[in-house]
Amino acid sequence: MPVLFAAHGSPMNALAKNPFTEALAKLGTQLPTPQAILVVSAHWETEGTQVLYNATPPTIHDFYGFPKALFDVQYPARGPLSIASATAKLVPGASLNEKWGLDHGTWSVLVHMYPHAEIPVYQLSLDVKAPPALHIELGKKLRSLREQGVLIIGSGNIVHNLRAVQWRDQNARYDWAEEFDAGIKKALDARDEKTLTQYLEKFGSAAEMSVPTPEHYWPLLYAFGATDEHDQISYPFEGFEMGSLSMRTVLWTSP
């Protein structure tokens, strides 16, 4: 199976029809049909690694201040218990979590890719104490799932600075955001793990502004780790939302 890093940006994208959401919908029709989907979302942070183990995972509306229509969205995908259990065994020290559900990092993407929620979905948490290099190593532990028909998706944003968001200007631009986004693309193309993990040292203030907190960047590292040098990389969508949210979406496919 391919591996995807999907931007998600504002939760309102779940309801929107725009070039970004249309790109997600197109991916859903072009990719091989998965047996299950594993999402590493920016919105599930834990100490240690946890795997969602819930046959009927609830739709979590983990935000506030948005229209009622967004809170009404449900994504009733089933949870693949046997695959989730096997996934936990791939990651040393991982535990199963029966109480979590599908947060908006997951369902705001999947409502466009697989609107009928017919494919089983589960999540892997972000270990808040792990350094960047370990997130890549954890992604490597997941590679074998691809051979079992699991579509691995990292859901976040390469550039994610809510304080700098230009809410009234969808087309705003920041030089630091474009510099960091382009630099990470170059590192992805070259499979440059050092730059991907030592981005603060490489990009300085541009990285500090683009990644003020790391949780939206980390899912990219899991997706990258789940791929290898034989995969072909492409970018189904590139661009920015409100200046400080990179919507760059990355796809790796086997030759």
Residue type, 57: P
Give per-residue pLDDT as tens, 130-179: 999 999 999 999 999 999 999 999 999 999 999 999 988 888 999 999 99
Asked if residue 158 lies in contact with residue 180, where contact means CB atoms within 8 angstroms, the answer is yes
CA distance 39 to 123: 5
CATH superfamily of 3-253: LigB-like (3.40.830.10)
Asked if residue 218 lies in contact with residue 5, where contact means CB atoms within 8 angstroms, the answer is no
Give per-residue pLDDT as tens, 228-245: 999 999 999 999 999 999
Note the pLDDT of residue 122: 99
CA distance 109 to 236: 14
Cross-strand bridge partners of residue 155: 6, 41
Note the pLDDT of residue 67: 85
Note the pLDDT of residue 255: 85
pTM: 0.97
Note the pLDDT of residue 202: 98
For the chain, what are the domain ranges?
3-253
Q: Dihedral, CA atoms, 202, 42, 164, 166, nearest 10 degrees? A: 130
Note the pLDDT of residue 62: 87
Note the pLDDT of residue 63: 84
Asked if residue 107 lies in contact with residue 26, where contact means CB atoms within 8 angstroms, the answer is no
3-state secondary structure the chain: CCEEEEECCCHHHHCCCCHHHHHHHHHHHHCCCCCEEEEEEEEEEECCCEEECCCCCCECCCCCCCCHHHHCCCCCCCCCHHHHHHHHHHCCCCEEECCCCECHHHHHHHHHHCCCCCCCEEEEEEECCCCHHHHHHHHHHCHHHHHHCEEEEEEECCCECHHHCCCCCCCCCCHHHHHHHHHHHHHHHHCCHHHHHCHHHHHCHHHHHHCCCHHHCHHHHHHHHCCCCCCEEEEEECCEECCCEECCEEEEECC
Residue 81 has which token pair?
Answer: 């218990």
Q: Which residue has the tokens 């029966």?
A: 98
Ranges under pLDDT 50 in the chain: none
Cross-strand bridge partners of residue 156: 7
- Max intra-chain CA distance, the chain: 46
Note the pLDDT of residue 201: 98
Note the pLDDT of residue 193: 98
